[in-house]
Amino acid sequence: MKGWIIAAAAVFALLCFAAPPALSKTAVPSPDVAVNRGIVQLEIGGSAGISVRIAEDLARLVNDGATRRLLPVIGTGALQNIVDLKLLRGIDMAILQTDVLDYAKRQNLLPGLEGSISYITKMYNEEFHLLARPEIKSVADLANQKVNVGGRGTGTAITAGRLFDLLKISATTTDEDPVAALEKLRRGESAAVAFVAGKPAPLFCELIGENGLHFLSIPLDPAVAAAFVPARFTAADYPGLVPYNQPVDTVAVGTMLAVANLQPGSERYRNVVNFIEALFTGFQSLTEPGHHAKWREVNIMAELPGWRRFPPAEQWLQRNARVAAMPNLEDLKAIFFRFIDERQQAAGGPPLSRQDKEQLFGQFEVWQKRQLP
């Protein structure tokens, strides 16, 4: 009898320890569950370009401390970023150059690429920077000269290769890191440094034209115009490198916010959908002062021929077409300023200064926000 009681007590004790707590439904989640909730990993470029700042803007917009968190990851090159988005576990999104994606598709570097990568939105343009020594007056002078284009598989290397082919420039390309390449350029060990990044690129922002370093203009012949977007550097972009009223013509390539081929209904899929809701709903705030100026180039409604949009992003845009179709801040300001100029001219009044127009536009913004439901 005593043995039975001891055995029963032992079983009861085991059951008590194994049974879940009575208040398990209200128990606080473990720290590892809480910190991993809503994580979306975004692969970006290095600090020499602007994607780190863009990722910071995105994180400030979408992170809510509970259900959403954007985690930027520094990539190692444009082609590798595409491979990572397709194959690396945990990478949900990446900011990719569209010309590099097209290159990978043409070369069939990753079979089935169109089916495994889609886009959330078209992003900003990234300009082609070509910084040269004083004796190099034009791109034609780069023939048989050393030009750094970054490592193999970088976006700069791919864009520069195509551009130099179109311009029929037979430069000798090198593959140093951009910062190291800039030092070699200063020492006269190369003729120029190429770099693809949204302006103003941090790599060049601190330069003040020492030793005659300057940007080269890119000739916009028909072949180049068909392959690239015309762009321009001004003194406002690089006050130490571009003289006032002497802009430098160049070209640019597009970028996209791409997303991996996620399993519908999975946790990662739901996290990305949650991210899209926050991004699209709050997008207009990214075009306001305090964020990178490149956000003003982004049109979330724009389509990318040859690529499919991520279905939840497409569905959000269809549900919210009126909000999504609103012009960005710079477009709206340009339209407003043109209206003011035409109104003043029709009334026979003197033209308003930019400061006066900026003040009126500020009043218009306040009025416009009051009209939105």
68, 38 Cβ separation under 8 angstroms: yes
Helix, strand, coil proportions of the chain in percent (round to 5)? 45, 20, 35
Judged by average pLDDT, the poorest of 23-27, 234-238, 345-349, 352-356 is 23-27
Residue ranges of alpha helices (H) inside 89-240 are 98-106, 113-116, 155-167, 178-186, 202-205, 222-227
Dihedral angle sign, alpha carbons of residues 105, 107, 109, 112: positive
Residue range 31-124+256-326 in CATH 3.40.50.1820: no
pLDDT beyond 50 at 128 = yes
* SS3 annotation, 301-354: CCCCCCCCECHHHHHHHHHCHHHHCCCCHHHHHHHHHHHHHHHHHHHCCCCCCH
Q: Does the pLDDT value for residue 69 go beyond 80?
A: yes
pLDDT of residue 208: 85
**Residues near 114 by Cβ (< 8 Å), separated by ≥ 6?**
105, 306, 307, 308
Looking at per-residue confidence, does 108 or 323 come out higher? 108
Max CA distance (Å), the chain? 113
Residues 159-210: tens digit of each pLDDT: 999 999 999 999 999 989 899 999 999 999 999 999 999 999 999 998 887 7
The residue-averaged pLDDT of 278-305 equals 93
Pairing of strands 93-97, 117-132: unpaired
Whole-number average pLDDT of the chain: 85
Least reliable range by pLDDT among 103-117, 122-136, 277-291? 103-117
| Overall size of the chain counted in residues | 373
For residue 355, is pLDDT > 70? yes
Which one has a higher pLDDT value, 196 or 343? 196
Give me the helices (H) in 196-266, please: 202-205, 222-227
Mean pLDDT of 275-299: 94
- What pLDDT score does 371 carry? 42
The pLDDT confidence band at residue 370, using thresholds 50, 70 and 90, is very low
User: What is the per-residue pLDDT across 3-59, written as a single tens digit (0 to 9) for each?
Assistant: 433 343 333 333 343 444 444 455 555 666 667 788 999 999 988 899 999 999 999
Q: What confidence tier does 365 reach under pLDDT thresholds 50, 70, 90?
A: low
Give this prediction's pTM.
0.78
Sign for the pseudo-dihedral over CA of 58, 60, 64, 69? positive
Check whether 329 has a pLDDT greater than 70: no
pLDDT of residue 245: 87
Does the pLDDT value for residue 149 go beyond 90?
A: yes
The correct CATH number of 125-254 out of 3.40.50.2300, 3.40.47.10, 3.40.630.30, 3.40.190.10 is 3.40.190.10
Q: Which residue has the tokens 């979306």?
A: 40
- The pLDDT confidence band at residue 1, using thresholds 50, 70 and 90, is very low
Mean pLDDT (whole number) for 87-98: 94
β 39-44/69-74 pair status: parallel
In angstroms, the CA 80 to CA 66 distance is: 32
Both tokens of 303, joined, read 């389509």
Domain ranges of the chain: 31-124+256-326, 125-254, 330-371
- CA dihedral of 23, 25, 27, 31, whole degrees rounded to 10: 160
For helices 78-87 and 98-106, the axis angle rounded to 10 degrees is 70
